[in-house]
């Protein structure tokens, strides 16, 4: 939008908004009330000063820029069927996808379906999933999950949100991951990265995952929800980190009202980038860009090389 001051431009952010303290999320004041739709409050990251149409346009512009940056974005948990994705997602609580991916080959070789999981020996299951943390609680959840799938759903993972959220250890986030990626049903996955970035982008002011989901859903067509979730999470992991966002090396800086929250010097910001965008990983990035259809496989190979 040349010639105009847009809420998302770095110039606007730098000239009209105080730069929040480093590490602070924008717009998601703890304990803050849920605002009426479209009624923003002052401050970077809010909907203030933007019409719904302008907000939608800016949100979609960000999505397009993220699509250009991450044409290889995908679910970073490895799975071959809805059961595996459901279990992997349950295990991913409080740990990284990389850690989960390291243990799931053995886990699914041993317990390939809900029936096998329901009959698992708790001590053996605990030993396999231990690296993911909270392994006692997760073991209980997986045993209960297997039993409930067998008892209520004939051992088959249901493809409806209202059924999925009745399963032990499964909330809306997990349900949306499974629906979007194993069933092709559009879903917005609000994890810690998605919530943080949605606030920084000014798409929501809320800390509540359900409210964030509904605020963001208003801005995009359902067909975009699943890939949008992957791209935003990719961006949160690689560029827009919780503590040190790399604003100076960010592909959506032009449309982000929170520009300036992190390092703005391009050379210094580039050093903050992670995974395939990190300095020294140009070969991996080139491979991902050249073979987007093999992105999950390429990622798995690169993760296996990491000790």
- List contacts with ligand SF4 (CB under 6 A): 200, 239-240, 245-247, 250, 252-253, 256, 258-259, 261-262
In angstroms, what is the minimal distance from the CB of 261 to ligand SF4?
4
Length of the chain: 307
Q: Which is nearer to ligand SF4, 90 or 253 (CB)?
A: 253
Report, in Å, the least distance between residue 216 CB and ligand SF4. Answer: 15
Both tokens assigned to 178: 């499974």
Nearer residue to ligand SF4 within complex by CB, 166 or 242: 242
C-alpha distances in Å from residue 76, one per residue of 33, 53, 276: 33, 32, 13
Expressed in percent and rounded to 5, the helix, strand and coil fractions of the chain are: 55, 0, 45
Distance in Å, CB of 210 to ligand SF4, minimum: 23
Q: Which of 173, 207, 215, 287 is catalytic?
A: 173
Q: Is 191 a catalytic residue?
A: yes
Closest CB 201 distance from ligand SF4, rounded Å: 7
End-to-end C-alpha distance for the chain, whole angstroms: 46
CB 122 within 8 A of CB 137: no
Place of tokens 């964030």: 212
Q: Considering 191, 207, 215, 287, which one is annotated as catalytic?
A: 191
Quick one: tokens of 4?
Answer: 């105009």
User: What is the residue whose two structure tokens read 């560029």?
Assistant: 239
Give CA 306 to chain center in angstroms. Answer: 22
Q: For residue 64, give both structure tokens.
A: 């397009």
Contact by Cβ (8 Å): 283, 61: no
Cβ proximity to ligand SF4: between 237 and 294 the closer is: 237
- Exposed, middle or buried: residue 221 (CB in 10 Å: 0-12, 13-18, 19+)? exposed
- Is 173 annotated as catalytic? yes
Rounded CA gap, 144 and 158, in Å? 15
Nearer to ligand SF4, 59 or 261 (CB): 261
Output the smallest distance, CB 148 to ligand SF4, in A.
39
Q: How far apart are CA 239 and CA 269, in angstroms?
A: 9
Question: Between residues 178 and 256, which has the closer beta carbon with respect to ligand SF4?
Answer: 256
Query: Closest approach of Cβ 247 to ligand SF4, in Å?
Result: 3
Distance CA 198, CA 27 (A): 9
Residue 219 or 239 having the CB closest to ligand SF4: 239
User: Which sequence positions are flagged as catalytic?
Assistant: 173, 191
């Amino acid at each position: 939008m040349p010639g105009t001051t847009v809420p998302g431009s770095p110039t606007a952010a730098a000239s009209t908004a105080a730069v929040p303290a480093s590490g602070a999320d924008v717009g998601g004041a703890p304990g803050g009330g849920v605002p009426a739709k479209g009624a923003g409050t002052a401050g970077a990251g809010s909907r203030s000063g933007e019409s719904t149409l302008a907000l939608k346009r800016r949100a979609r512009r960000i999505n397009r820029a993220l699509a250009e940056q991450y044409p290889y974005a995908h679910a970073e948990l490895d799975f071959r069927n809805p059961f595996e994705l459901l279990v992997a997602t349950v295990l991913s609580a409080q740990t990284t996808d990389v850690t989960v991916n390291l243990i799931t080959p053995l886990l699914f070789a041993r317990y390939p379906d809900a029936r096998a999981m329901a009959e698992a020996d708790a001590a053996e299951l605990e030993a396999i999933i231990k690296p993911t943390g909270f392994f006692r609680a997760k073991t209980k959840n997986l045993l209960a999950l297997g039993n409930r799938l067998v008892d209520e759903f004939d051992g088959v993972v249901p493809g409806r949100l209202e059924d999925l959220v009745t399963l032990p250890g499964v909330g809306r986030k997990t349900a949306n991951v499974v629906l979007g990626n194993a069933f092709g049903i559009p879903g917005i996955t609000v994890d810690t990265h998605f919530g943080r970035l949605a606030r920084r982008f000014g798409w929501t002011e809320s800390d509540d995952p359900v409210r964030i989901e509904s605020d963001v859903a208003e801005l995009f067509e359902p067909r975009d929800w699943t890939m949008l979730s992957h791209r935003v999470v990719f961006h949160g992991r690689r560029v827009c980190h919780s503590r040190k966002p790399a604003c100076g090396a960010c592909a959506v800086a032009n449309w982000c009202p929170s520009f300036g929250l992190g390092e703005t010097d391009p050379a210094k910001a580039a050093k903050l980038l992670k995974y395939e965008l990190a300095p020294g990983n140009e070969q991996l990035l080139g491979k991902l860009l050249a073979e987007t259809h093999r992105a999950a496989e390429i990622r798995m190979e690169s993760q296996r090389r990491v000790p």
